[in-house]
Structures are given as structure tokens and as C-alpha cells.
């Protein structure tokens, strides 16, 4: 504890660095994955290929990717851009499949009814399909956020400092306290990200909490999202 307090400025600085190194890939990756998921949901014949291709990105080991990226895109070896791009790729890899499922969870009957009332295709996609996919998208984004926060640490190995630097430094100096502080701070950051996402979800989707008529898959995700405050299955009467 004393070590953490004495070095609070360093820990805090690494904490904020870690925060924005995580936030950018989560946001950018999420934004990129949603259209990919929408596309694959819309084109069942291409779905398998698209999702397999995207998932394949996730199988690229992170450390080699971080080493190769500067060579491929011409950034400096120590540039944080390498970490940001690598993590965005991983975010897309995780999120695209969830986004596909999210659009699949939207009740076809509701979309049919919306079409019959006179929604034009673009308006239907943005004002009906997207918001109704929201709960599952959010659940996916929460997974991405936790995964990203933990992956940022790896950047420390190639000199992009973050809370991960506390691990590498503590390891080299055989100083356990520093490692523990790094772990605790990373967990706190991950929880903080998660709390922000849940809060944003509640504000943006007040209807999702009162949702009773959900499909089974939607129910599973929605239950994850509202922490079990949902009774899934069947139509509300």
C-alpha cells in the first residue's frame, strides 16, 4: 500500500493512459463491427465466410501482431498507434459475431409490422433494427471492453506504457507489490468500463428493462445484460 501511495502519480498516469488505450479500440472496434454484423445477418449465404474470416483475426497471437504491425503500416516501433490498431482488430473479431447475433435476435414479426406500417428500408435499419439489437450489442461490447482492458497490458512488452508497465517493471525487479498494484488497478479499470457501459445502456434503452416478450436467445443475452431481471421465453400476454 505504501508503495502505491508513494507512486500514486505514476500509477494514476498509467491508469489514464491505459484507460484511453482501451477506450479507443472498444469504441472504434464496436463501430466497425456493427455494420459487419448487420451485413452478415442480412446475407445468410456469406455469413459463414464473413464470420470465419473475422474470427480468424482473433487467432493471430497478440505479441507477433504488435511486432509486425509497424512493419506493415509504417508506424514507429514505440508508437501507441500499433497497440490501438491491434486491439481494434481484436475488438472487431469478437464483436462482429455478437453483432450478427444481435440483429438475429430482433423479432422478425416486429420488423414485418414496421415495414407494413410504412417504414422505408434505411429508416427501418436505423430506428428499429439497430435499437432493438441494442441489448445484445451492449452485452457484446461489455465482453470486448473487459478483453481490451486486459490486452492493453501486453503493449508494455513493446514499450507502449500502460498499467502493464507495472507488471513488466515489477517482474524485472522481482518486486511483487508493483505487480499486485498493476493487477488491482487493471481490474478496477475493467470494472469501471463495465459500469459505464451498463449505465449508458440503461439510459439509452429504458425499454429493455421492462421487456417481457423476448426470444430465447435474446433472453439469454438480455438476462446477462439486466442481471437476471428478465423472464425469458414466450410472448407477454
Q: How far apart are CA 76 and CA 174, in angstroms?
A: 30
Least distance in angstroms from the C-beta of 108 to other proteins:
10
State the residues that interact with other proteins by CB under 8 A: 107, 109-110, 112-120, 123, 128, 131-132, 134, 205, 207-208, 210-213, 235-237
C-beta closer to other proteins: residue 95 or 214: 214
Least distance in angstroms from the C-beta of 117 to other proteins:
6
C-beta closer to other proteins: residue 61 or 118: 118
C-beta closer to other proteins: residue 107 or 150: 107
Q: How far apart are CA 154 and CA 169, in angstroms?
A: 13
175 C-beta neighbours (distance < 10 Å), count: 14
Burial call 149-162: b when 16+ CB within 10 Å, e when fewer = bbbbbbbbebebbb
Cell numbers representing residue 38 in the block: 448487420
Q: Residue 60 carries which DSSP code? A: S
Least distance in angstroms from the C-beta of 107 to other proteins:
8
Least distance in angstroms from the C-beta of 226 to other proteins:
13
C-beta closer to other proteins: residue 173 or 212: 212
What would you measure as the largest C-alpha separation in the chain, in angstroms?
68
C-beta closer to other proteins: residue 6 or 235: 235
Least distance in angstroms from the C-beta of 156 to other proteins:
42
C-beta closer to other proteins: residue 64 or 121: 121
On whether the CB atoms of residues 147 and 94 are closer than 8 A, the answer is: yes
Q: Exposed (0-12), middle (13-18) or buried (19+): which is 85, by Cβ within 10 Å?
A: buried
Q: Three-state SS across 135-165?
A: HHHHHHHHHHHHHHHHHHHHHHHHCCCCCHH
Least distance in angstroms from the C-beta of 139 to other proteins:
16
Amino acid at each position: 500500500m505504501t508503495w502505491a501511495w508513494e507512486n500514486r502519480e505514476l500509477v494514476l498516469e498509467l491508469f489514464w493512459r491505459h484507460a484511453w488505450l482501451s477506450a479507443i479500440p472498444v469504441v472504434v472496434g464496436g463501430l466497425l463491427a456493427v455494420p459487419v454484423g448487420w451485413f452478415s445477418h442480412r446475407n445468410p449465404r456469406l455469413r459463414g465466410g464473413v464470420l470465419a474470416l473475422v474470427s480468424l483475426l482473433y487467432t493471430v497471437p497478440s505479441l507477433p501482431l504488435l511486432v509486425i504491425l509497424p512493419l506493415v503500416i509504417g508506424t514507429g516501433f514505440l508508437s501507441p498507434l500499433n497497440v490501438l490498431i491491434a486491439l481494434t482488430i481484436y475488438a472487431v473479431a469478437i464483436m462482429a459475431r455478437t453483432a450478427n447475433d444481435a440483429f438475429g435476435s430482433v423479432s422478425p414479426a416486429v420488423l414485418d409490422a414496421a415495414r407494413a406500417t410504412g417504414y422505408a428500408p434505411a429508416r427501418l435499419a436505423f430506428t428499429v433494427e439497430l435499437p432493438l439489437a441494442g441489448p445484445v450489442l451492449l452485452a457484446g461490447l461489455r465482453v470486448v471492453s473487459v478483453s481490451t482492458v486486459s490486452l492493453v497490458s501486453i503493449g508494455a512488452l513493446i514499450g507502449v506504457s500502460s498499467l502493464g508497465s507495472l507488471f513488466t517493471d515489477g517482474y524485472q525487479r522481482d518486486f511483487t507489490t508493483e505487480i499486485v498494484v498493476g493487477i488491482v488497478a487493471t481490474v478496477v479499470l475493467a470494472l469501471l468500463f463495465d459500469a459505464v457501459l451498463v449505465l449508458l445502456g440503461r439510459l439509452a434503452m429504458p425499454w429493455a428493462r421492462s421487456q417481457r416478450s423476448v426470444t430465447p436467445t435474446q433472453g439469454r443475452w438480455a438476462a446477462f445484460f439486466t442481471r437476471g431481471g428478465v423472464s425469458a421465453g414466450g410472448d407477454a400476454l
